[in-house]
Structure 1
Amino acid sequence: MKRLTLVRHAKSSWSDPRLSDHDRELSQRGERDAPRMGRRLCARKARPSLILSSTAVRALETARIIALSFGYPRDFPQTERALYHADPGTLFDVVWSRDDTCRDMMIVGHNPGLTWFVNELLTDFALDNLPTTGIVAIAFDVETWQKADAASASLDFYDYPKNPAAVPEDV
């Protein structure tokens, strides 16, 4: 079994119009939601052995905050330039290129690519929009990442900051 946890970056700030899209930081809401979602992941006993992040400031900061929630060092997430506004084909390439000793991987990236990717993998889930700091965890009944596809995928869980049915953060 393999598990892939997809996380859309936390809410970003538009307060400085001089910043490029790539350089936008988290907003106050993003800074509040990222650790909250990290605690929910911990409550679900998530323990990714690899966290890959887009190089965008808002994505990497989200990944770092979530890593801290697991007790990992702030610099634990690895960056992958290809994840910046990646489409499903690029996301498949990133997943398929991982070493099979990694059983539980997290990717922190962007919409619309993450939403499209989820819908390609989970054809019966029909996600309209993965919200900021939204999480979709997918289990694959495979031994190698190269075989991870829609036929082997099943929804493990879906969560987002305003989810009224969320797992308690302090479990």
Structure 2
Amino acid sequence: MLRLILMRHAKSDWSHQGLSDHQRPLNKRGTASARALGGWLRAGSYLPGQVLSSSSERTGQTCTGLDLPQSVAITFTRALYLADAEKMMEVLRGATAPCVLMLGHNPGIADMAHRLVTAPVDHERFMDYPTGATLVVDFDAAGWNDIGWHEGQPIDFIIPRDLS
């Protein structure tokens, strides 16, 4: 059994002139959302053994805000920055832990979420996958190379606004 936690970065700050998209940080709401999502992960016993994250500033700050245990292996990679679903799946296939948190960006992360599950999640925001949207999905597979599209069983889905 494998578990994937698929999270879009929290709300970013567009007010910093001169920063590239890759350098854009979280805004105050995004920082609070990341902390709330970390609490939700702990409360649901959804803590990963490994994190695969885009190398952007906002995904890095989202990851920090989750306040994961120090034992969690975290990899920041440029390969996940604005990656499409196919590229995200390629990166996921290199995962080693049975529970992985992947942090990324739209539109790729929304497309991946939709393509992974056997049926759409019953939540009004699942289709647009807003900032902070987080899907927990299980796979009946021995390794990450054994998973495919439309094989994941959705376990939970949340957006930061649900936690307010």
The verdict on a shared fold, with TM-score over 0.5 as the criterion, is yes
Unaligned runs of 5+ in 2: none
> 2:118–2:153: 8 Å Cα contact kept in structure 1?
no
Question: Is the CA contact (8 Å cut-off) linking 1:64 and 1:77 kept in structure 2?
Answer: no
RMSD of aligned C-alpha atoms?
Answer: 1.8
**2:17 is the alignment partner of 1:22:** no
Count the aligned residue pairs. 160
On the 8 A contact 1:64/1:76 being kept in 2, the answer is: no
What is the deviation of 1:13? 0.3
Match of 1:130 in 2: 129
The Cα shift of 1:128 comes to 1.6
- 1:112 aligned partner, one-letter code: P
Q: TM-score of the superposition, structure 1-length normalised?
A: 0.87
Structure 1 moving runs of 4+ over 3 Å: none
CA distance in 2, matches of 1:14, 1:81: 21
Equivalent runs, 1:74-153 vs 2, <5 Å: 76-99=73-96, 102-125=97-120, 127-153=126-152
Amino acid across the alignment from 2:56: A
Which stretches in structure 1 are left out of the alignment for 5+ residues? none
Question: How much does 1:152 deviate?
Answer: 3.0
Tell me if structure 1 keeps the 8 A contact 2:115–2:150. no
The TM-score with structure 2 as length reference comes to: 0.91
Contact persistence 1:142–1:152 (CA under 8 A): no
Partner of 1:10: 10
Per-residue CA deviations over 1:104-150 (Å, capped at 9, x if unaligned) read 00011100100000111125216321111110011000011001113
